[in-house]
């Protein structure tokens, strides 16, 4: 009888790829996890119980065929594992690195729920596609036939790029416009290198360009080119602009120098890592070196800011969050990484103003909080503890309070562009179609600040809907 290659979770413990020691991590912006060695990847993949109804798959936004590619990895059929993995995911090695797996696939793994520890799905997914790149299996799109229809995509983040990839594969003429100088959106300039090294993003951008996608960078729609001009030029337009308006704090002292927005701080740091000459870094304005840094917020952006500050050589890094650890929105894994690297968390602490000296921030006035009754969202609302205020000294304060959409109808002079009351573009979730003819929208600009994997799903679904639409038009014309 053939040997059973799977179901090894009883005999083999869960194991992650090696994590670098915190002391060495603090010194650079390189990723913190090593790659699995082949034997280790096979061993870990073999722990999968091959469920008939795989909850990991149903909780992956892309419905990745996880049990199949785990089986193929465990049995050494890596090229087939890659083919299966990339059939449903445009950027598997990126999702493998930065998806919050504990809330998605791995959090729903049956063997995790039976107490054996989840299959390390993300790490295996990353291993499969990194190996595919190494072996030369990842090839640029080569459409079987060119088509005349063209699509303009505004925004080169994961949503826009996933759509571009799929449309180009079908032979369409695709141009991606981005106001930034590099493609990738938040993959490039939001998420720091220690979670996602930038050559991983750059090789994807190059692959798309090699496959015939045209990039128009440093091109802000609404400034360098009008939205109307794009609609005239292309048969369809996809809005994939993400959400970039930082939520702010209006309180005493909030105008002092040295209080910065998280996205500006992270963008400057990522540009610096490319070796760019960045004035805000050189002047010290957005450089944590030698400073006492306080980051306000408890989400993933705040975690990225505290860990970036540590790497820039801050003398101390504190994170203020108004709820407690159990109720923070950020990933527990990233919080633990931050703690290991020397970040101090001040839970149940909220700012009420800033002290300043000579126009520069000198401290954050902190109110201590406790959790009260659950509010309308079901979460316990923080309440102020009277008389417990104190001042947290700071030379640099970073606000990481979340993002909202920019006012696209006004910025683009398009009052008829349909938006929700939150300012996100109103679009059908399954197709991205808006009420404007030939205009689609995907990713964060539709969902509000979300996840890379959801942006990829939206981009792929939207591309399929556009193709279906073009195909029906072509069929009608041929009748
Ligand atoms: C600091 C940070 C860390 C994060 N970490 C994670 C993580 O670990 N895991 C995860 O899954 N998600 C993470 N996210 C969320 C994730 O990055 C986003 O959900 C995802 O990038 C959204 O993709 P998108 O394509 O919709 O938009 P974006 O990635 O924001 O891309 C939008 C693009 O549109 C361009 N653009 C905007 N307006 C215009 C215009 N007028 N003209 C031309 N171009 C324009 C922008 O320059 C940008 O390149 C993080 C977000 C932040 C801010
Ligand atoms: S894409 Fe994300 S959720 Fe889906 S299998 Fe990969 S890591 Fe898990």
The string of pLDDT tens digits covering residues 184-224 is 999 999 999 999 999 999 999 999 999 999 999 999 999 99
Asked if the 150-243+405-478 domain carries CATH number 1.10.3210.10, the reply is no
How much distance in Å is there from the Cα of 364 to the middle of ligand 2? 39
Phi and psi for 182 in degrees, rounded to 5?
-130, 145
Can you tell me the mean pLDDT for 3-20? 87
Q: What is the pLDDT of residue 438?
A: 97
How much distance in Å is there from the Cα of 41 to the middle of ligand 1? 30
Q: What is the pLDDT of residue 37?
A: 87
Percent of the chain whose pLDDT exceeds 90: 87
The answer on pLDDT for 377 being more than 80 is no
Strands, sheet with 292-296, edge to edge from the N-terminal-most edge strand: 259-261, 396-399, 292-296, 316-320, 344-346
Q: What is the distance between the alpha carbons of residues 476 and 470, in angstroms, rounded to a whole number? A: 10
For atom 8 of ligand 2, the residue with the nearest CA is: 105
How much distance in Å is there from the Cα of 98 to the middle of ligand 2? 9
In tens, the pLDDT along 219-270 reads 999 999 999 999 999 999 999 999 999 999 999 999 999 999 999 999 999 9
How much distance in Å is there from the Cα of 451 to the middle of ligand 1? 9
Q: What is the pLDDT of residue 148?
A: 96
Q: What is the distance between the alpha carbons of residues 150 and 164, in angstroms, rounded to a whole number? A: 11
For atom 19 of ligand 1, the residue with the nearest CA is: 451
Shortest-distance atom of ligand 1 to CA 243: 30
In tens, the pLDDT along 61-113 reads 999 999 999 999 999 999 999 999 999 999 999 999 999 999 999 999 998 88
How much distance in Å is there from the Cα of 257 to the middle of ligand 1? 27
Shortest-distance atom of ligand 1 to CA 458: 26
Q: What is the pLDDT of residue 153?
A: 99
In tens, the pLDDT along 298-339 reads 999 999 999 999 999 999 999 999 999 998 888 888 999 999
Q: Where are the domains of the chain?
A: 22-135, 150-243+405-478, 250-402
| Architecture, CATH, for domain 22-135 | Orthogonal Bundle (1.10)
The answer on pLDDT for 2 being more than 70 is no
How much distance in Å is there from the Cα of 265 to the middle of ligand 1? 15
Can you tell me the mean pLDDT for 19-34? 96
Containing 311, the helix (H) or strand (E) segment is helix 300-311
Tally: H helices and E strands in the chain: 19, 16
Q: What topology is assigned to 250-402 in CATH?
A: FAD/NAD(P)-binding domain (3.50.50)
Shortest-distance atom of ligand 1 to CA 155: 34
Q: What is the pLDDT of residue 91?
A: 98
Q: Indicate the top mutation candidate among 89, 98, 104, 107 to test ligand 2's pocket, ranked by most ligand atoms within 8 A of CB.
A: 104
Identical fold, 22-135 and 250-402: no
For strands 150-154 and 236-239, give the pairing: parallel
How much distance in Å is there from the Cα of 190 to the middle of ligand 1? 7
Q: What is the pLDDT of residue 88?
A: 98
Can you tell me the mean pLDDT for 375-397? 92
For strands 173-177 and 396-399, give the pairing: unpaired
CA-to-CA separations, 156 to 126, 169, 185, 270, 425, in angstroms, rounded: 22, 17, 6, 17, 17
How much distance in Å is there from the Cα of 125 to the middle of ligand 2? 8
Q: What is the distance between the alpha carbons of residues 44 and 301, in angstroms, rounded to a whole number? A: 30
**Coil, strand, or helix at residue 75?**
coil
Q: What is the distance between the alpha carbons of residues 219 and 225, in angstroms, rounded to a whole number? A: 7
In tens, the pLDDT along 109-134 reads 998 888 889 999 999 999 999 999 99
Q: How confident is the model at residue 478 (pLDDT cuts 50, 70, 90)?
A: confident
Question: Cβ < 6 Å from ligand 1: which residues?
Answer: 98-99, 154-160, 177-180, 185-186, 190-191, 195, 220-222, 240-242, 266, 300-301, 304, 443-444, 450-453, 455
Containing 78, the helix (H) or strand (E) segment is helix 78-88
Percent of the chain whose pLDDT exceeds 70: 100
* Cα angle 105-111-112, degrees, rounded to a multiple of 5: 60
Q: What secondary structure does DSSP assign to 91-116, as a single string?
A: -HHHHHHHS-GGGSTGGG-HHHHTTS
- Neighbouring residues of 324: CB distance < 8 A, sequence distance ≥ 6: 347, 348, 371
Mean pLDDT of the chain: 95
- Where does 136-197 have alpha helices with state H? 158-169, 186-189
Q: What is the pLDDT of residue 181?
A: 97
Q: How confident is the model at residue 450 (pLDDT cuts 50, 70, 90)?
A: very high
Q: Which residue has the tokens 């805000």?
A: 280
Containing 425, the helix (H) or strand (E) segment is none
Phi and psi for 416 in degrees, rounded to 5?
-85, -5
Predicted structure pTM score: 0.96
Q: Indicate the top mutation candidate among 48, 55, 125, 457 to test ligand 2's pocket, ranked by most ligand atoms within 8 A of CB.
A: 125
Shortest-distance atom of ligand 2 to CA 89: 1
Can you tell me the mean pLDDT for 355-371? 97
Q: How confident is the model at residue 3 (pLDDT cuts 50, 70, 90)?
A: confident
Task: Report whether 60 contacts 104 (CB < 8 A).
Answer: yes
The answer on pLDDT for 400 being more than 90 is yes
Q: What is the distance between the alpha carbons of residues 358 and 257, in angstroms, rounded to a whole number? A: 9
Ligand nearest to the CA of 109: 2
């Amino acid at each position: 009888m053939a040997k059973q290659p799977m179901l090894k979770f009883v005999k083999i413990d869960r194991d992650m790829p090696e994590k670098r020691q915190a002391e060495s991590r603090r010194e650079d912006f390189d990723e913190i996890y090593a790659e699995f060695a082949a034997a280790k990847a096979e061993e870990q993949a073999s722990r999968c119980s091959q469920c008939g109804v795989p909850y990991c798959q149903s909780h992956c936004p892309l419905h990745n065929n996880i049990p199949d590619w785990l089986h193929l990895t465990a049995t050494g059929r890596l090229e087939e594992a890659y083919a299966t993995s990339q059939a449903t995911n445009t950027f598997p090695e990126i999702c493998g690195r930065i998806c919050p797996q504990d809330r998605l696939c791995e959090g729903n793994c049956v063997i995790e729920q039976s107490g054996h520890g989840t299959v390390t799905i993300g790490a295996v997914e990353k291993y499969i596609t990194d190996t595919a790149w190494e072996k030369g299996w990842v090839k640029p799109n080569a459409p079987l036939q060119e088509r005349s229809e063209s699509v303009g995509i505004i925004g080169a983040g994961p949503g826009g790029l996933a759509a571009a990839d799929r449309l180009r594969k079908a032979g369409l003429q695709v141009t991606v416009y981005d106001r930034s100088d590099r493609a990738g959106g938040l993959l490039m300039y939001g998420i720091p290198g220690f979670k996602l090294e930038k050559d991983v993003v750059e090789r994807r951008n190059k692959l798309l360009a090699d496959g015939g996608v045209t990039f128009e960078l440093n091109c802000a729609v609404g400034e360098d080119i009008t939205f109307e001009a794009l609609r005239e030029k292309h048969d369809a337009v996809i809005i994939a602009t993400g959400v970039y308006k930082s939520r702010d704090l209006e309180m005493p002292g909030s105008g002092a120098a040295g209080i910065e927005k998280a996205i500006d701080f992270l963008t400057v740091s990522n540009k610096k890592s490319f070796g760019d000459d960045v004035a805000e870094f050189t002047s010290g304005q957005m450089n944590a070196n030698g400073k006492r840094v306080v980051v306000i917020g408890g989400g993933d952006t705040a975690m990225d800011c505290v860990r970036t500050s540590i790497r820039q050589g801050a003398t101390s890094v504190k994170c203020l969050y108004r709820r407690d650890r159990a109720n923070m929105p950020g990933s527990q894994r990233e919080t633990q990484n931050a703690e290991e690297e020397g970040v101090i968390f001040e839970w149940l602490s909220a700012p009420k103003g800033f002290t300043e000296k000579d126009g520069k921030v000198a401290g954050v006035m902190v109110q201590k909080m406790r959790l009260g009754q659950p509010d309308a969202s079901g979460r316990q609302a923080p309440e102020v503890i009277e008389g417990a205020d104190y001042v947290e000294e700071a030379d640099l304060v970073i606000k990481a309070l979340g993002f909202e959409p920019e006012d696209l109808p006004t910025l683009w002079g398009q009052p008829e562009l349909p938006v929700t009351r939150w300012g996100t573009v109103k679009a059908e979730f399954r197709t991205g179609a808006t009420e404007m003819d030939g205009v689609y929208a995907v990713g964060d600009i539709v969902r509000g600040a979300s996840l890379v994997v959801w942006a990829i799903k939206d981009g792929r679904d939207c591309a399929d809907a556009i193709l279906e639409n073009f195909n029906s038009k072509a069929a009608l014309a041929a009748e």
